[in-house]
Amino acid sequence: MTTARPMRRFLAPLAFALTLITASLAATLPAAAGDAAAEAFVNEISVKAIDIISNKTLGRADRETAFGALLDANADMPKIAAFALGQYVRLPTPEQKAKYLTLVRTFVIKVYVTRLSDYHNEKLVVTGSQAKGTNQALVDSQINFTNGREPVKVTWWLVKDATGAYRIFDVNVVGIWLAQEQRSSFTSVIANNGGKFDALINDLTTKVASADAAK
């Protein structure tokens, strides 16, 4: 048969391409399925956070208190605080550690209430998620603006606590991981002050105080 051979020549690569497409689809399917629990968690947090920020009847102190409560309930602060110390995680004495944990919590609340103050009544829409290992997940989302501004991409890095519930470990806004940003400056302060942990405690105390004064 003279027609069968060109036919086969055409079909073989086609079959190969189909196999490839099926294989790659199969590989992406688990990721595409996402993690419904993680997505629901992010949805819930974002609604609460936006409520706090856009509630103009709250004063700054009230807003900080509400934001702090949200953070305590939903973020893994000790893990974030440990991560932000980088290589110096075992440097602080128990007293310094206790002081540091309190300061870092206040600092984070003040920083993000300030940084988020530009947002009003925006909506955060979850766009997808993927599991990372057995007890972490990454949730993609974007903030849509009503005034035609380009949407801002936000990725949430969640980690399960001892009870198996998700908690926030880090948040990525337009490509910047916020805990990594803090880690860079915290470790830099310690390294540039002869490896003294108290230098970081002093700097954090000053920053928190000046944020209070600027109100």
Partner 1 sequence: MTDHNMNSVARILNQSAKVAGLALMLSLAACATRPDPANPAAVQAYKEANDPIEPLNRYFFELNRFFDIILIKPVATWYDGVIPDRGKQGVRNVLDNLRSFVVVANDSLQGQWSQAGSDATRFGINTTVGVLGIFDPATGWGYPQHREDLGQTFGTYGIPEGPYFYVPILGPSPPRDLIGYFGDSLFDPLTYIYWDGPYTVPVTRAVLNGIDVRARNLGTLDQIERTSVDFYSTVRSLYRQSRNNEINNGKSDVDNLPDIDNLNFDTNEPQAVSPQ
Give residues in contact with partner 1 (CB under 8 A): 78-79, 82-83, 86-92, 97, 107, 110-111, 114-115, 118, 130, 132-133, 135-136, 138, 140, 153, 155, 157, 159, 169, 172, 174-177, 180-192, 195, 200, 203-204, 207, 211, 214
CB of 68 to partner 1, least distance (A): 16
Residue with Cβ nearer partner 1 (6 or 194) = 194
Is residue 85 a contact partner of residue 183, using CB atoms and an 8 Å limit?
A: yes
Q: How many helices (H) and strands (E) does the chain have?
A: 7, 5
Residue with Cβ nearer partner 1 (34 or 92) = 92
Residue with Cβ nearer partner 1 (8 or 115) = 115
User: Which pair of tokens denotes residue 165?
Assistant: 């519930």
Q: Name 25's Cβ contacts closer than 8 Å, sequence gap at least 6.
A: none
Angle between helices 197-213 and 178-191 (to 10 degrees): 120
CB of 82 to partner 1, least distance (A): 5
CB of 34 to partner 1, least distance (A): 13
Residue type, 125: V
CB of 114 to partner 1, least distance (A): 6
Residue with Cβ nearer partner 1 (13 or 133) = 133
Residue with Cβ nearer partner 1 (11 or 198) = 198
Q: Name 56's Cβ contacts closer than 8 Å, sequence gap at least 6.
A: none
CB of 203 to partner 1, least distance (A): 5
Q: Dihedral (C-alpha) 128, 132, 135, 138: value to the nearest 10 degrees?
A: -30
CB of 47 to partner 1, least distance (A): 23
Task: Name the pairing type of β-strands 166-173 and 152-160.
Answer: antiparallel
Count, residues in the chain: 215
Residue with Cβ nearer partner 1 (6 or 94) = 94
Q: Is the dihedral of CA 185, 188, 193, 196 positive or negative?
A: positive
